[in-house]
Structure 1
């Protein structure tokens, strides 16, 4: 006899209570805010809280939010459904399939092992080599959870155990703790460097577009490449100093990686096709402004080639549940955020906060907003939920305070990844890396607190100066 699916009904209490409370407070809503805007705000807040408490998986919560938005007649059905046609969201869905090709063919693992073989003579060099793999894979792997958990984690875990470093034996500090934590931070940095490296980035792009700010794959990359590379160089070294591995030299890493590569055998035809199609996608993304080929269309081209070449089957596509789950809840959240903007809530909120900060220099406004955006992530267990909840409002405030629009949009976009360096539940990769047992919670929080300051200095300081130098503001 079939059993009912498990639903955590108690976790519905907070979103329902808060949503209803806000809904019935409409008579005392702020002056200048329409009833429709206030009701949309109540629905949005309830949905976001539901995404945080998760009585159902986030996709299920989003569907309920979608249903309520239409049922209450706050959003017409055709408008709500049109949200599923957002090009930026389909870019993420397509890129999920591309990343599946890396895992299925074994190309991601082969690239990682090659990096270890060439650069892994010292533990610090080993960390740089593993992060280098993340950097190579990032442009075509929008799920940083898949990148960190599906490709990098198994390799780091196997490599650590090969050096006798395991939490089960109490020897995690030999090498595993350092490598695991360094890769976590590296994954956050590479996620910030590419529009297609984390699911929340195209969401930020979509939200910025509704406010008249146009972010492209190329201008995101150009703006992020310098602070990103600085971070990739500096952060692992800082971790090496404050959380040093017991084993400093790893001469056996080359031998281990060669034995693993030997077991894999010579590069296969599927891997060659995967590599070629990946290069084609990268070239088209980089040259999109010249060719006129949209980034989303490029991702569709790549998937079409993977299907034509037999690298992926249609069954692989239909079974990629992460992609379809993302399509569902992303579409709903983007639709709601767009409605908040169109009904006037976000413009009103932006003006209200901006007036409270009136008289302040726009640089101070931008720094305050980024600090608030970053540290409020202690309240979130999903980077994308956080971006959905706060990106539009903060960007609106920045623009109202005369912060250069593209600078504000990109900085908030970058920190929509960097605020993952706060807690052990901050984003998808965090519980995977933390759950491995290599780093204690106190160590995790202590080092994250320090590295947060490092990210402010590099990205706000060097990043803003770099964008000024190349004329982006």
Structure 2
């Protein structure tokens, strides 16, 4: 009980401490130049960030509520109006995230990911250790991360790869290499499509906001990402 109370109170305590501190001259001047609603607005923003981060890490409250905490705090304190605080939740990238998560969840619910991983692993039935790593670990993880998360895809392929390596009686060093290659191949597969992993979409938004008139389409990302993804798959297997 005390531990949970401590986790719950760390964030609000940091937030309150920053608000109670007198505003630093440089921070106050920067806030004035930026048109902040009050001198301690930067401190309130930093305190809100620390509060959200502490609750996010400890998961003392549901993550959905933690995600709304910053918008509620900044709006109530007058740092930003409600319309601005909530506008990010309607960002098109958020809906792309949701679509990707729904697709990945559907694959996992109906076992499509495991079937695909088994199908790829069955392509090679020999006992060559190097090819076993490619077909049992690298290639399934690479293909699954095209539409699923890196962590989920790795967790699906992991037991399949272990069973495969046990069947060919692989050495400990080879098994360790296979597990490392599995993780690297999953990361490489996430470069293939724009929706393969959230950082890809974040990179798209940063580029488009930083370069006026620049548009990064799915096809553009595919053209650039495919060589990098395939090179990453090859390197993860060879190394």
TM-score grouping bracket, smaller chain normalisation: 0.7 to 0.9
Give deviations 1:353-389, integer Å, cap 9, x for gaps.
xxxxxxxxxxxxxxxxxxxxxxxxxxxxxxxxxxxxx
Q: Which residue of 2 aligns with 1:145?
A: 151
Q: CA deviation at 1:188?
A: 1.6
Mark the runs of 5 or more structure 1 residues left unpaired by the alignment: 166-170, 239-473
Q: Which residue of 2 aligns with 1:78?
A: 83
Q: CA deviation at 1:183?
A: 0.8
Separation (CA, whole Å) in 2 of partners of 1:207 and 1:71: 28
Q: CA deviation at 1:87?
A: 1.4
Q: CA deviation at 1:112?
A: 1.9
Mark the runs of 5 or more structure 2 residues left unpaired by the alignment: none
Where 2:123 maps in the other structure, the secondary structure is helix
Equivalent position to 1:132, from 133, 139, 146: 139
In the alignment, is the contact (CA less than 8 A) between 1:70 and 1:80 conserved in 2?
yes
Q: Which residue of 1 aligns with 2:106?
A: 101
Separation (CA, whole Å) in 2 of partners of 1:236 and 1:54: 37
TM-score by length of 1: 0.42
In the alignment, is the contact (CA less than 8 A) between 1:139 and 1:195 conserved in 2?
no
Q: Which residue of 2 aligns with 1:231?
A: 232
Separation (CA, whole Å) in 1 of partners of 2:164 and 2:28: 58
Give deviations 1:408-453, integer Å, cap 9, x for gaps.
xxxxxxxxxxxxxxxxxxxxxxxxxxxxxxxxxxxxxxxxxxxxxx
Separation (CA, whole Å) in 1 of partners of 2:215 and 2:18: 33
TM-score by length of 2: 0.75
Which aligned pairs between 1:50-449 and structure 2 lie closer than 5 A?
50-56=55-61, 58-119=63-124, 121=126, 122-129=128-135, 130-141=137-148, 143-149=149-155, 151-163=156-168, 173=172, 175-212=174-211, 214-238=215-239
Q: CA deviation at 1:99?
A: 1.8
Separation (CA, whole Å) in 1 of partners of 2:23 and 2:59: 26
Q: Which residue of 1 aligns with 2:4?
A: 8
2:45 corresponds to 1:47: no
Relative to structure 1, the CA distance from residue 202 to residue 131 in structure 2 (aligned partners, 3 Å threshold; closer, same or farther) is same
In the alignment, is the contact (CA less than 8 A) between 2:113 and 2:144 conserved in 1?
yes
Separation (CA, whole Å) in 2 of partners of 1:45 and 1:216: 35
Q: Which residue of 1 aligns with 2:30?
A: 32
Give deviations 1:233-284, integer Å, cap 9, x for gaps.
123222xxxxxxxxxxxxxxxxxxxxxxxxxxxxxxxxxxxxxxxxxxxxxx
Where 2:71 maps in the other structure, the secondary structure is helix
Where 2:121 maps in the other structure, the secondary structure is helix
Q: CA deviation at 1:76?
A: 2.1
In the alignment, is the contact (CA less than 8 A) between 1:88 and 1:205 conserved in 2?
no
Give deviations 1:73-102, integer Å, cap 9, x for gaps.
223223333322221111121112212332
Identify the range of structure 1 (211-220 vs 175-184) with the bigger mean alpha-carbon deviation: 211-220
Separation (CA, whole Å) in 2 of partners of 1:215 and 1:42: 35
Q: Which has the higher contact order (CA 8 A, sep 6+)?
A: 1
In the alignment, is the contact (CA less than 8 A) between 2:138 and 2:182 conserved in 1?
yes
Give deviations 1:31-80, integer Å, cap 9, x for gaps.
43433562434423442354345444543432323321222122322333
Separation (CA, whole Å) in 1 of partners of 2:201 and 2:181: 26
Where 2:80 maps in the other structure, the secondary structure is coil
Q: CA deviation at 1:21?
A: 4.6
Relative to structure 1, the CA distance from residue 223 to residue 26 in structure 2 (aligned partners, 3 Å threshold; closer, same or farther) is farther
Q: CA deviation at 1:152?
A: 1.4
